[in-house]
């Protein structure tokens, strides 16, 4: 793993949370994007070398809505950048981690992504991601 790419934070409404994080981080939201496959709207902020990604559910039955219903708004995942997502997925699987998807899928911010089951990572949802070239 190369570095922390971003920290994902689940929020109820981007319209409320974007201004809050702009004030908190003293920077503007530089990008919003919808990830149709996950039913998620995202907003990105850059702070130093790390990005903050706000995640809002597009639907009441979406994964982020279910997360917020269960745990409330807050930290959703930590994403680590990798050079070769397929080989890193194989390595992690061989090390005993449970992958939530068998193949990389398209994520926000021009990334291929894979999530690791929190039961195998001390209850923290971990994402590995690779920039699509």
Predicted pLDDT at 88: 97
Predicted pLDDT at 116: 98
Predicted pLDDT at 127: 98
CATH architecture of the domain with residue range 3-131: Roll (3.10)
Query: pLDDT for 37-54, tens place per residue?
Result: 889 999 999 999 899 999
Q: β-strands 126-131, 74-81: how paired?
A: parallel
For residue 19, the tally of other CB atoms under 10 A from its CB is 11
Predicted pLDDT at 133: 86
pTM over 0.85: yes
Both structure tokens of 95: 């090390």
Predicted pLDDT at 37: 85
What sign does the dihedral 5-105-126-94 (CA atoms) show? negative
Whether residue 1 has pLDDT greater than 90: no
Average pLDDT over residues 28-38: 94
Phi, psi of 77 (to 5 degrees): -160, 165
Query: pLDDT for 65-121, tens place per residue?
Result: 999 999 999 999 999 999 999 999 999 999 999 999 999 999 999 999 999 999 999
Q: β-strands 74-81, 50-57: how paired?
A: unpaired
């Amino acid at each position: 793993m190369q570095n922390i790419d971003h920290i994902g934070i689940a929020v109820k409404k981007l319209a409320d949370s974007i201004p809050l994080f702009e004030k908190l981080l003293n920077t503007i939201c530089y990008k919003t994007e919808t990830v149709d496959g996950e039913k998620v709207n995202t907003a990105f902020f850059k702070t130093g070398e790390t990005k903050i990604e706000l995640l809002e559910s597009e639907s009441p039955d979406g994964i982020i809505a279910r997360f917020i219903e269960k745990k409330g708004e807050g930290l959703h995942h930590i994403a680590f950048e990798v050079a070769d997502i397929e080989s890193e997925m194989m390595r992690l699987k061989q090390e005993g981690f449970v992958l939530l998807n068998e193949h990389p899928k398209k994520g926000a911010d021009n990334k291929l992504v894979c999530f690791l089951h929190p039961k195998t990572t001390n209850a923290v949802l971990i994402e590995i991601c690779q920039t699509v070239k």
